[in-house]
Amino acid sequence: MKSIIKLNDLGKSFSGNRVLHGINLEVNPSEVVVIIGPSGSGKSTLLRCCNGLEVAEEGNIEICGKPLLTNGTMLADHELNHLREQVGMVFQSFNLFPHLSVLGNVTVGPRKIQGVDKDSAESFARELLAKVGLAHKADAMPATLSGGQKQRVAIARALAMKPQVMLFDEPTSALDPELVGEVLQVMKALATEGMTMLVVTHEMGFAREVADVVVVMDHGRIVESGPPDQIFVNPREARTRSFLQAVL
């Protein structure tokens, strides 16, 4: 089985400050890998390296078997953009285009980047909006939506590019507690449909229920990884235990 994301000995510094050390990680087709760990441990940086938003200066990244980073050197721009389309990303802070309607947000990528015609882009967008429970909001502007609705639009927008894998960086952390469930529900449905997902979250219930593999990070390293039962019930590492004690 060919992995969708493969990180090999990945290392990254920000102006001399090392934030990722020797990261090895594979995400296989239809797998849900959840990354947990304290704030500042490098989770966001790791995700951002996977879609070329950050450049790691050490190691290798393959996306669907194609090299994105080879010994710390990124692909050239035109190839990079193509590979990036394979990797959808959802951020904590939604990042919707405020001047575009919901439908506009979901169709702009396919139309501008992939050259999809308006009718096809809109009909697929409406399908995706129905999937995230927002068919009735197609013509709404982002400012009129709740946080949970905005995040579901952001998920539909990422899916519109037909990615091979979805990255989620704390997708529910900016939401009021009563809105968290609707977003997790959509993510769970995606996982059930077989979407490959790499998810950073503090929602331990989601990790336990949905993850195939849980990866624990601390100080830029992977401390431990394994199935949820191992990590939550029988963690091997003291740093995993102390993190879990702090959050559970």
The DSSP element (H or E) to which 225 belongs, if any, is strand 221-226
Window 83-142: residues binding ligand ADP (CB under 6 A): none
Q: In this structure, what are the phi and psi dihedrals at residue 182, rounded to the nearest 5 degrees? A: -65, -30
User: Can residue 14 be called a binding residue for ligand ADP (CB under 6 A)?
Assistant: yes
The DSSP element (H or E) to which 129 belongs, if any, is helix 118-131
- Under rule CB under 6 A, how many of the chain's residues touch ligand ADP? 9
Of the candidates 64, 67, 48, 44, the residue with the CA atom closest to the CA atom of residue 56: 48
In the complex, the smallest distance separating the C-beta of residue 46 from ligand ADP, rounded to whole angstroms, is 7
DSSP of 54-110: S--SEEEEEETTEEEEETTEEPPHHHHHHHHTTEEEE-TT----TTS-HHHHHHHHH
Tell me whether residue 36 or residue 128 sits nearer to Mg ion (CB atom).
36
Contact status, residue 184 vs residue 155, Cβ threshold 8 Å: no
Window 19-48: residues binding ligand ADP (CB under 6 A): 19, 39-45
How far is 167 from 151, CA to CA, in rounded Å? 13
- Burial of residue 16, with CB atoms counted within 10 A of its CB: 0-12 exposed, 13-18 middle, 19 or more buried: exposed
In the complex, the smallest distance separating the C-beta of residue 42 from Mg ion, rounded to whole angstroms, is 8
- Residue 40 touches which member of Mg ion, ligand ADP, none, C-beta under 5-8 Å by kind: ligand ADP
Tell me whether residue 44 or residue 86 sits nearer to Mg ion (CB atom).
44
In the complex, the smallest distance separating the C-beta of residue 170 from Mg ion, rounded to whole angstroms, is 6
User: Can residue 196 be called a binding residue for ligand ADP (CB under 6 A)?
Assistant: no
User: Can residue 214 be called a binding residue for ligand ADP (CB under 6 A)?
Assistant: no
Tell me whether residue 46 or residue 68 sits nearer to Mg ion (CB atom).
46
- Residue 14 touches which member of Mg ion, ligand ADP, none, C-beta under 5-8 Å by kind: ligand ADP
Tell me whether residue 42 or residue 52 sits nearer to ligand ADP (CB atom).
42
Tell me whether residue 39 or residue 234 sits nearer to ligand ADP (CB atom).
39
In the complex, the smallest distance separating the C-beta of residue 232 from Mg ion, rounded to whole angstroms, is 21
CA dihedral 104, 44, 83, 211 (to 10 degrees): -90
In the complex, the smallest distance separating the C-beta of residue 93 from Mg ion, rounded to whole angstroms, is 11
What tokens appear for 164 in the block?
């091979």
Using CB under 6 A as the criterion, which residues of the chain lie in contact with ligand ADP when the complex forms?
14, 19, 39-45
